[in-house]
Amino acid sequence: MAESKEQIPPIPPGWDYNPAAWSQRIPIVVLAIIGMFIALYLGLYQLDIISSVWEPFFGDGSITILNSKVSHVLPIPDAILGAIGYFIDALTGIIGGTRRWRTMPWITIVFGFAVGPLGVVSIMLVVFQPVLFDAWCTLCLASAVISVAMIGPAMDEVLASLQYMQRVKRSGQSTWKAFWGIKEEVLKVA
């Protein structure tokens, strides 16, 4: 049994690499930050802070989509929501050390949920726009590509955390305390 967090083996049992290593996480964080800037740029256009938007391929496509009724259905424009989403992805990607799959499962699971299910929803909202408005938007598609690219590399860490939670449950310890990374609980279960 580990006596301190530093003694926890970084590689989860039954794995041959650490899914929470920086080399695994940095690329996802970089993608999220790029996505955030793209979304922010589109959001500034939607807020009328900038008056035009870059669109090399689809003519009036970006303007049609960014000014659509659907994109303004909420109090804040949808691209700003997207930027907030990417910010959450980047933030929950960067928080925690390289053993966080075990020392703070909650952040790994929030990260996985933000990148995975919420990512898929945002991708679908972006790509269903041609169905509704018969127009395409280059930067919206670029943002969707970034969201798609983040899912695969992010999910392994979620799996390691879920497996850890499974071991906690089987050992009869408190899954609630382990989920929030209470030190005594985290050290109890391998």
Partner 1 sequence: MWAQIINVILGLWIMASPDLLGFADPTAADNNHIVGPLIVTFAFTALWEATRSVGKWNLALGAWLLIAPWILSFEDRSALINDMVIGAIVVALSFIKGKITQHFGGGWSALFKNNPEHVEKARELS
Sole binder of partner 1 in the list 91, 118, 151, 187 (CB under 8 A): 151
Write b or e for each residue in 25-41: b if 16 or more Cβ atoms lie within 10 A of its Cβ, otherwise e: beebbebbbebbebbbb
Number of neighbouring beta carbons within 10 Å of residue 13: 10
Whichever of 74 and 124 has its CB closer to partner 1, that residue is 124
Q: Which stretch binds partner 1 (CB under 8 A): 34-42, 75-83, 158-166, 177-185?
A: 158-166
DSSP state of 19: T
Whichever of 12 and 181 has its CB closer to partner 1, that residue is 12
Are the beta carbons of 52 and 58 closer than 8 angstroms?
Answer: no
Task: List the x/- string, 5-44, binding to partner 1 by CB under 8 A.
Answer: ----x--xxxxxx-x-------------------------
Q: Which one, of 117, 115, 82, 111, lies nearest residue 94 by Cα?
A: 111
Whichever of 45 and 164 has its CB closer to partner 1, that residue is 164
Q: Is 60 exposed, middle or buried (0-12, 13-18, 19+ CB in 10 A)?
A: exposed
Report, in Å, the least distance between residue 40 CB and partner 1: 23
Sole binder of partner 1 in the list 110, 159, 174, 175 (CB under 8 A): 159
Binding residues for partner 1, rule CB under 8 A, total 33
Query: From CA 145, how far away is CA 166, in angstroms rounded?
Result: 33
**Residue 84 is a binding residue for partner 1 (CB under 8 A):** no
* Tokens coding 49: 């802070």
For partner 1, the binding residues in 116-135 under the rule CB under 8 A are 120, 123-124, 127-128, 130-131
Report, in Å, the least distance between residue 21 CB and partner 1: 13
Give helix 117-127 / helix 138-170 axis angle, nearest 10°: 160
Query: From CA 64, how far away is CA 53, in angstroms rounded?
Result: 11
Whichever of 19 and 77 has its CB closer to partner 1, that residue is 19
Binding site for partner 1 (CB under 8 A): 1, 9, 12-17, 19, 120, 123-124, 127-128, 130-131, 144, 148-149, 151-153, 155-156, 159-160, 162-163, 166-167, 170, 189-190
